[in-house]
A and B are shown apart, each in its own frame.
Chain A
Amino acid sequence: MSQRILIVAEHDGTHLNPSTAKCVTCATGIPHGEITVVVCAADSSAVASQAAALQGVARVLAVNHPANAHLLAAALAPQIAAVAGPFTHVFGPSTTFGKDVMPRIAALLDTAQISDIMAVETATRFRRPIYAGNAIVTVEVEAGAKVVGTVRTASFQAAATGGSAPIEQASVNAEIPSHTRFVSVSAAKSDRPDLQTAARVVSGGRALGSAEAFQKTLYGLAAKLGAAVGASRAAVDAGYAQNEMQVGQTGKIIAPELYMAIGISGAIQHLTGIKDARTIVAINKDPEAPIFEVADIGLVGDLFQIVPELERLLG
């Protein structure tokens, strides 16, 4: 049986978020699937052409509406539900964007949702982590039901570009509520790579001791490595780092080539966020710290001596 998969694009109005390309890769795992990406925007032209260039995408649906200037779940969900009719699957990324909007879509479609899909076994059978990744469950959807799911982006590579899918303008017959209004978004601007997608991440924990020490110790090393900077929940709670830097069960779940955990003891909730990292390096003065159980390379010692030395060796 052929499957029709609809992917809800995440974007900021001009750039397609890399999470969408990862959803495409997840969707290509569904046998006999045809992939459509829906782009809801005030002016979808730039983002729609980026989606059309993703290999594996058969078609892009462009939905232009002034209410889509900022992607709000309450406004987006009825539009997606209105176009979802012919599709067997509706996927979005398991980012804060997708986590917010997809269950709202699922409820409007009267279906259950599979959160954090990490593997596709068949068109109706998926695997997902539960208990902060301490167990993996296989989930089977009842026959004939629409499958709504969020895709765990750390489990999939981004789809390559070079495709040229047709872009269709869609007009959507949906009532868009005005009860939810965007006010502002404040993001700390930085020249470093984006934490979610960076190939290398340097991350700090409570052992850094202060916001000043966190910056002074880690940012230079991160610059030498071309790495993004992350933090444990303890470091964020202590005010050493901004909330969007948090890595773990309730923060970002990442899959870099290199993850350096510096002064992070390695609570289960933190390890959940880094399980898919290719190589984990741990630097910690406590040889019993749980982070060493998952580290590929462990170094027991004083981070305030090791990190500057490391920076010097990296030239």
Chain B
Amino acid sequence: MKRILVGIKRVVDYNVRIRVKPDASGVITDGVKMSVNPFDEIALEEALRIKERGAAEEIVVATVGPADCQQQLRTCLAMGADRALHVQADGVIEPPVAARALLKLIEREQPFLVILGKQAIDDDNSQTGQMLAALWQRPQATFASKVELDGEKARVTREVDAGLETLEIDLPAVITTDLRLNEPRYVKLPDIMKAKKKPLETLTLGALGVEQRQRLKLTRFEPPPPRQKGVKVKDAAELVAALKSKGIL
């Protein structure tokens, strides 16, 4: 079966204003809206479009995280994924652990393509896809804004600092998505009902043979230093004067 594996992460919704706990032990996540990481939604949307074009037969969505992640997996099933895999684990999941867990799922599922978001908007690490590709010893095309499949190969356009770079990669491979790859569809109510009947399998890191190691200690969380309060000017002439007095012009 021609299968695409999509990795997703449950994160604090991008509209939530982040606040640091007073004891500096983390950020406040209790009672905060959680969502599928926006870049991962783009990854799933791309997989669904590939399937709708007839170039894939099954879309499997996977995540590593606590029991609550099943809400986000259900959202992905409602978007159109065929099956979900939940690797249950509590506590901090560092990218090397997530990558190793996904590698085990690849060995089980034998996808011809793995798509992930380019970064999670909580830790902003941007590591899991690249680490997975390294461990799998397969190509990576990160920050993709266009994906064209052509038999055993893919042509991927990447958003890089200089502009747009195009790579040709052999499949199977890992692709990570940038913002402009596509615009994810909205989930419709009947699809949410249908998603409840789709298969969602729960696994554990232990059963996959992956050690949940935390190698980076997160010792202190702080809010960013505030900027000094600025001044208001009333027209262009005052603006020029203000810039001159600051020595900028």
- Which A residues are CB-close (under 8 A) to B221? 135-138
User: Pick the contact of A107 from B130, B159, B168, B224 — CB < 8 Å?
Assistant: B130
Is A244 part of the binding interface, using a Cβ–Cβ cutoff of 8 Å? yes
Q: Any chain B CB within 8 A of the CB of A133?
A: yes
Given A183-B155, A279-B248, also A136-B222 (CB < 8 A) = yes
Chain A 297-313 per-residue mask, 1 if CB under 8 angstroms from chain B, else 0:
11111000010011001
Asked whether any CB of chain B lies closer than 8 Å to the CB of A223, the reply is no
Shortest CB distance B124–A (Å)? 6
CA distance A141 to B215 in the complex (A): 6
Total chain B interface residues with beta-carbon distance under 8 A: 81
Q: Is A252 an interface residue (CB 8 A)?
A: yes
Question: Taking CB as reference atom, which chain A residue is nearest B215?
Answer: A112
- With CB as the reference atom, state the residue of chain A lying closest to B213: A112
Please, which residues of chain A bring their CB within 8 A of the CB of B125?
Answer: 113, 115
A169 within 8 A of B: no
CA distance A296 to B245 in the complex (A): 13
| CB atoms of B140 and A180 under 8 A apart | yes
List chain A residues, Cβ under 8 A from B94. Answer: 112
Q: Does A296 lie within 8 Å of B228, measured CB to CB?
A: yes
CB of B63 within 8 A of chain A? no
Cβ contact of A103, chosen from B130, B139, B222, cutoff 8 A: B130
Give the residues from 109 to 156 in chain A that come closer than 8 angstroms, CB to CB, to chain B. Answer: 110-116, 125, 129-142, 145
Knowing A107-B135, A296-B230, say if A243 contacts B159 (CB, 8 Å).
yes
- The answer to whether B161 touches A142, judged by C-beta atoms less than 8 angstroms apart, is no
Contact of B121 among A104, A131, A184, A300 (CB under 8 A): A131
From B121, B232, B234, give the contact of A249 (CB < 8 A): B121
A258 at the interface (CB under 8 A from B): yes
Q: Is the CB of B124 within 8 A of A129?
A: yes
Pairwise interchain contact A135-B27, C-beta atoms closer than 8 A: yes
A133–B122 alpha-carbon span in the complex (Å): 10
In the complex, A125→B218 CA distance in Å? 10
Among the 9-residue stretches A28-36, A51-59, A91-99, A201-209, the one with 4 or more Cβ atoms under 8 Å from chain B is A91-99
A249 to B179, CA, bound (A): 11
Within B212-229, the residues touching A (CB, 8 Å) are 215-224, 227-228
CB atoms of A180 and B169 under 8 A apart: yes
- Stretch from A37-45, A70-78, A212-220 forming part of the interface with B: A70-78
- Which A residues lie within 8 Å of B72 (CB)? none
Q: With the chains together, A244 CA to B159 CA distance in Å?
A: 7
- Interface-side segment among A1-9, A61-69, A160-168, A185-193: A185-193
Contact B143 A113 (CB under 8 A): no
Give every chain A residue within 8 A of B18 (Cβ-Cβ). Answer: 131-132, 134-135
Q: Nearest B residue to A140 by beta-carbon distance?
A: B217
Q: Let me know if B243 and A258 touch, CB within 8 A.
A: yes
Could you tell me the distance between the alpha carbons of A233 and B159 in the complex, rounded to whole angstroms? 13
Contacts of A99 in B (CB 8 A): 126, 142-143
- Decide if B1 is an interface residue (CB 8 Å cutoff): no
Q: Mark A174-187, 1 if CB is under 8 A from B, else 0.
A: 00010111111111
| Chain B residue contacts of A231, Cβ below 8 A | none
Min CB–CB distance A8 → chain B (angstroms): 14
Say if the beta carbon of A157 comes within 8 Å of chain B: no
Q: Is B208 an interface residue (CB 8 A)?
A: no
Is B180 engaged at the interface, CB distance under 8 Å to the other chain? yes
CB atoms of A136 and B165 under 8 A apart: no
Q: How far is the CA of A26 from the CA of B159 in the complex (A)?
A: 26
Look across to chain A and name the residue whose beta carbon is closest to the beta carbon of B123. A130
A289 at interface, CB cutoff 8 A: no
A310 in contact with B236 (CB, 8 Å): yes
Q: Which residue of B lies closest to A268 (CB)?
A: B17
Which residue of chain B has the shortest Cβ distance to A183 in the bound complex?
B166
Bound-state Cα–Cα, A119 to B131, Å: 24
Whether B160 lies near A306 (C-beta < 8 A) is no
Tell me if B231 and A112 are in contact (CB < 8 A).
Answer: no
- B182 interface contact, C-beta 8 A: no
B235 interface residue (CB < 8 Å to A): yes
- Asked whether A73 and B215 contact (CB < 8 A) given A97-B161, A130-B124, A186-B163, the answer is no
List, in ascending order, chain A residues with CB within 8 A of B234's CB: 299
State the CA gap A17–B63 with chains docked (Å): 37
Please report the C-alpha to C-alpha distance between residue A236 and residue B131 in the assembled complex, in whole angstroms: 29
Interface flag for B170 (CB, 8 Å): yes
Does B164 sit at the interface, judged by CB under 8 A? yes
| 3 nearest A-B pairs in the assembled complex, by CB-CB distance | A187-B163, A107-B134, A103-B130
Interface residues of A (CB under 8 A from B): 12, 72-74, 77, 95-97, 99-108, 110-116, 125, 129-142, 145, 177, 179-188, 196, 233, 236-237, 242-244, 249-250, 252, 257-258, 268-269, 275, 279-281, 283, 292, 294-301, 306, 309-310, 313-314
